[in-house]
Chain A
């Protein structure tokens, strides 16, 4: 499948867009200036092209600023060919610029699209459960306990610091907000676990 972009340079490190098509199946990647207006005025028409096998919206805010319930409604209305990136992807100048695990996911996703001809698997781009976030949730839960294991984990920060750093990034890209704690330790673990749990509950509610 070919990949066409109506977007600036924010995805340049993970995909090389093709020139606009004539008669090939394609994925269209869009960065709309006004998301709601674009969806209202353009989406149906773009999807009416039988060669268009998917439309992906990417912006510098999570879900391009569309609330989750509205996103679910749009998916129901327009079907599986339509998707909006759950994570914010900012420009190279912004701190939400593509990096780390998300960059790998985008790269894998576009490779998958290249190899597909019909159906696009959006879960490569947006896994239902964010790995780093629930991994840190487990660490935080351990640190909240008065156990020898908690003391040991607390002493091994170097071992899991990268998980914590990726989690902060993932949380911000998915929610548009920062975790209130900059460090994870025995003093902050309860608060970190609470914040993450609230976020995970919103995903669980959507999954059920």
Chain B
């Protein structure tokens, strides 16, 4: 596959943000021991407040899960070279000519990349992470001063699901694909 890295591509940008800014920086690089301490130590109230803004209902992690689902809905067109037709020198062609180029190029791209086959495993990874986060959040809020081991254990499960989603998103192209 010939990937046009560096050329503006919203799907690639979203893929990168989800993998690095969210999964890597906010989940995978956080120590489960630290998370357990944030839950139990009153002196870490500032950290707790900041962390809860992420995990609470309607919080940042829920937004990111929605972003990930949106990426899956958009990705087939998002990485397609058909978008180049309207923004480069071919934009001056007649509408019928542009539509013809787009149709054929998109079709070749679908056949060569089989990009649609990534939808199911990524969706499953998003579902699993959502479930793991829900279980973790339940433990976090329902058990006042919950046993540190339980918090740690549930966060490790979140991390395992985040790792899988990070890997599945990594299977997607890093830019627009040229067939």
B is a partner of A:
yes
Q: Which 5 pairs of residues, A with B, have the shortest CB-CB distance? A: A149-B100, A207-B5, A142-B104, A135-B89, A128-B6
Q: Which of B41-49, B91-99, B143-151 lies on the face that meets chain A?
A: B91-99
Q: Which residue of A lies closest to B105 (CB)?
A: A138
Residues of A83-141 at the interface with B, using a CB-CB cut-off of 8 Å, are 128-129, 131-132, 134-135, 137-139, 141
Can you report 6 residue pairs joining A to B where beta carbons are below 8 Å apart?
Answer: A134-B4, A135-B89, A135-B90, A145-B104, A152-B96, A153-B101
B139 within 8 A of A: no
B103 within 8 A of A: yes
Within 8 Å by CB of B179, from A129, A141, A156, A162, lies: A141
> Given A135-B90, A142-B100, A160-B90, A204 and B84 touching (CB < 8 A)?
no
Within 8 Å by CB of A208, from B5, B93, B97, lies: B5
- The interface residues of chain B lying within 8 Å CB-to-CB of A141 are 104-105, 108, 179
B142 within 8 A of A: no
- The interface residues of chain A lying within 8 Å CB-to-CB of B94 are 156, 159
Contact, CB under 8 Å: B90 / A138: yes
Contact, CB under 8 Å: B105 / A142: yes
How far does the Cβ of B113 sit from chain A's closest Cβ, in whole Å? 14
Main secondary structure on A side of the interface with B: helix
Seen from chain B, the residues whose Cβ lies within 8 Å of a Cβ on chain A are 2-7, 81, 84-85, 88-90, 92-94, 96-97, 100-101, 103-105, 108, 178-179
A47 within 8 A of B: no
Within 8 Å by CB of B97, from A134, A160, A204, lies: A160
User: Please, how many angstroms separate the alpha-carbon atoms of A88 and B2 in the complex?
Assistant: 25
> Given A135-B84, A138-B84, A204 and B2 touching (CB < 8 A)?
yes
A-B contact count (CB 8 A): 74
Contacts A160-B90, A197-B2, A204-B3 aside, 16 further interface pairs with beta carbons under 8 A come to: A128-B7, A129-B4, A129-B7, A131-B89, A138-B101, A141-B179, A142-B100, A142-B101, A149-B100, A150-B104, A153-B100, A156-B97, A159-B97, A163-B89, A200-B178, A201-B2
Seen from chain A, the residues whose Cβ lies within 8 Å of a Cβ on chain B are 128-129, 131-132, 134-135, 137-139, 141-142, 145, 147, 149-150, 152-153, 156, 159-160, 162-163, 166, 197, 200-201, 204, 207-208
Contact, CB under 8 Å: B93 / A156: yes
Within 8 Å by CB of B5, from A142, A159, A204, lies: A204
Q: Which residue of B lies closest to A149 (CB)?
A: B100
Contact, CB under 8 Å: A129 / B101: no
User: Please, how many angstroms separate the alpha-carbon atoms of A129 and B84 in the complex?
Assistant: 12
Q: Which residue of B lies closest to A137 (CB)?
A: B178
> Given A142-B101, A142-B105, A149-B100, A129 and B6 touching (CB < 8 A)?
yes
